[in-house]
């Protein structure tokens, strides 16, 4: 093997080593703009006053190297790519909400990568129920056993509790005079229960002014809000 051949092979080997070495950068992406992935249960929506879980990843970086910030009014908790964002809202504020994604490079420098935009939404209103009924006809048998008003959401991605704090009940006898009753909890008062024992077929019941607070993990995230009425006809 002559010297020229040996030199050529060594040159090729050096080039290959240089290429491989330049592509290896532990914890740091070599691309000019690393791809950022931000996901939450509601895609591009954040609910106001609710702790929204958000996951963030950046190609080429470890979770420990990622952090996010926001200039918006919010409670931001978490780290290592897993966060909760609880936006607050004031009148006149934009319905768009931005978070800034940063990384810590191998040189300990803070690098801004990208800004992600979400849309803000208010927490939807729950639906009130008297027993199994949100409206329609109700039998006198069910009237005798139901003792409270409840509220819940259908097909909402977060586990929220809805606390009925007060409501009114209007009894409209078929051809008689109406009478209303008030309760300061989700339970029927003794007076309400007594009134329901004397209702007849064709009488109407309206549960109205139903005030409900929404809670997440035991913490109130909405003040009591007025829900739709429950309109029932005794059959």
d(CA 98, CA 94): 10
Task: Sketch out the chain's domains with CATH numbers.
Answer: 32-121 (2.60.40.60), 127-234 (no CATH)
**pLDDT tens across 70-96, in order?**
988 899 999 999 999 999 876 666 688
Query: CB within 8 A of 163, min separation 6: which ones?
Result: 186, 212, 213, 214, 215
Out of 39-48, 82-91, 92-101, 213-222, least confident range: 39-48
pLDDT at 192 over 60: yes
CA of 53: how far to CAs of 28, 47, 221, in Å?
26, 10, 15
User: Region 184-206: what's the mean pLDDT?
Assistant: 96
Read off the pLDDT band of 44 (50, 70, 90).
Answer: confident
d(CA 159, CA 13): 59
Query: Can you read off the two tokens belonging to residue 112?
Result: 């801004």
């Amino acid at each position: 093997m002559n010297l020229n051949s040996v030199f050529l092979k060594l040159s090729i080997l050096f080039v290959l080593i240089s290429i491989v070495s330049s592509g290896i950068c532990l914890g740091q992406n070599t691309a000019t703009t690393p791809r950022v992935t931000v996901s939450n249960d509601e895609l591009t929506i954040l609910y106001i006053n609710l702790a929204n879980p958000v996951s963030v990843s950046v190609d080429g970086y470890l979770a420990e190297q990622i952090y996010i910030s926001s200039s918006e009014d919010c409670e931001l908790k978490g780290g290592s790519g897993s966060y909760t964002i609880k936006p607050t809202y004031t009148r006149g504020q934009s319905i768009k909400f931005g978070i800034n994604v940063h990384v810590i490079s191998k040189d300990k420098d803070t690098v801004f990568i990208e800004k992600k935009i979400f849309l803000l939404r208010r927490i939807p209103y729950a639906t009130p129920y008297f027993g199994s009924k949100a409206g329609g006809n109700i039998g006198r048998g069910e009237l005798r056993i139901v003792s409270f008003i409840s509220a819940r959401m259908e097909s909402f991605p977060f586990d929220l509790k809805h606390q009925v704090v007060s409501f009114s009940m209007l009894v409209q006898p078929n051809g008689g005079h109406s009478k209303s009753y008030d309760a300061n909890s989700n339970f029927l008062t003794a007076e309400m229960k007594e009134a329901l024992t004397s209702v007849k077929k064709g009488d109407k019941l309206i549960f109205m002014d139903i005030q409900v607070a929404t809670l997440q993990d035991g913490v109130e995230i909405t003040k009591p809000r007025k829900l739709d009425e429950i309109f029932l006809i005794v059959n």
